[in-house]
Copies of this chain bind each other. A is one copy, B any other.
Amino acid sequence: MDQINKTFKTLKKKYDAGQNPLDEIGVLAQQCINRLCNNTRELDYKSLGQKHYYVLADQELSRPFRKDLFIMNAEDFRLKWQQLLAARGDCKFNLSDTDINKVVYTAVMSFAMCFDIWKNKSRKTPGTFFEVVLGSLIAFILPQGFTRTKFIPLIQAEVADIDGSSEAAQVGIGDDAEAVEDSGNVSTDIVFKINDAKSLVIPAKTTTRERVVQPFAHQRILDSFFGEGVYVSLLCCVSETQRDDDDVKVNDICVPNTIKLFQKHLAKMGGIFYLDPPARYLTLNGENGLKVGTIGALLCSDLNEIIELHGA
C-alpha cells in the first residue's frame, strides 16, 4: 500500500495545482488492480435486481462491486484507459457510454477497495480520488478558458469570533460539510466556470445517503444569491450500495420520492449521474427537468448537450 499511497499523493498534488494527472490515475489503478488480484479472496454476495455483487476480502472486507463493470486485469485496464484518453472530443469522449463507465468505475473502485481492505482508517481518501478522477476527465475535454475551482465564494463577512475579536470569514458552498465532516463521507464540489453567466457545479460523492439534501440546498442558495440559471448542478456519485454481511447481500439505499420532492420544492438540479446507478433512480429520468443516468452517458453525450444548452 506504500506505493499506492505515494502514487496517490503525487497525483493529488498535481490536481490541486490545476493539472489533470490522467496518466498517473491510469498507473495508480493498475497498481490497485494488481494488488487486489494477487492478495484477496472473492466472496459472492447475492444479486440485487439485475445486478450481481462480489466482495474482496483480506485484512478487511471491500465495499461490494459489480464484476460486469470491473476490469479485473491490469493490462486490459491499461489498454482501455489509453483508449479513453485517445477518444478525447469536444466536451465529450468519443466512446460508448458503457465503455467509458466501465473504465472509470474500475479506476475509482480499485482504489477504494484497496483502501477498504488495507487502509480502513482513511475513509475520506476514496472519495477524494473519485473527485480527482472526475475533475481531471471533465477538465480534459472542456475547451480552453474553463476554470476549475473547488469553491464558490459567496460572502465576505466580518464575524466576531469566540473571544470577541473579529476576523474576515469566507462562506461558500462546499465549506460547511468539509469543516464539520465527521461521518467518513466526503462532500466536495468541483466547479467549472463556463463564462461569466454560466457555471457547472459538480458535487462528487461516493454515496449520498441522507446527504442528498445538500446539493439541492446548495443549488437553492446559488439560485437565491446569483439568480436562477447561473449555476447548473450535476451530482456525480459512485453508487448507493450497502453491504449486508448478516444476509450476505447488497442493498441499494434509495429515496426516489424524496428526490422528486426536492427537485420540485427545493431547487432544480441539472442531473444526477452514477457509475453504478440504482434502478429506482433511473426511473426518475426526465422528472421536472432532471437528467438521471450513468457517468458514462454524462461523459459521452450529456455534458456536451448541457454545455451547448447553456451556451459555452
Contacts and interface: CB of A to CB of B under 8 A. Distances in A.
Q: Per DSSP, are chain A's interface residues mostly helix, strand or loop, or mixed?
A: helix
B181 A257 contact: no
Contact of A210 (B183, B216, B255, B266): B183
Which of A155, A157, A175, A265 has the largest number of chain B CB atoms within 10 A?
A: A265
A159 B258 contact: no
A17 interface: no
A160 B287 CA distance: 13
A146 interface: no
Nearest to A282: B162
Contacts of A40: none
A261 B172 CA distance: 9
A124 interface: no
A166 to B, nearest CB: 11
B182 A225 contact: no
B169 A242 contact: no
Interface residues of A, number: 47
A23 interface: no
A175 B160 CA distance: 37
Contacts of A255: 176, 179-180
A22 to B, nearest CB: 31
A159 B179 CA distance: 37
A262 interface: yes
A198 interface: no
A223 to B, nearest CB: 9
Interface of A: 49, 154-155, 157, 159-163, 169, 171, 175-177, 179-183, 187, 209-214, 216-217, 220-221, 224-225, 242, 253, 255-258, 260-262, 264-266, 279-280, 283
7 contacts: A159-B257, A161-B280, A162-B279, A177-B210, A182-B209, A183-B183, A217-B217
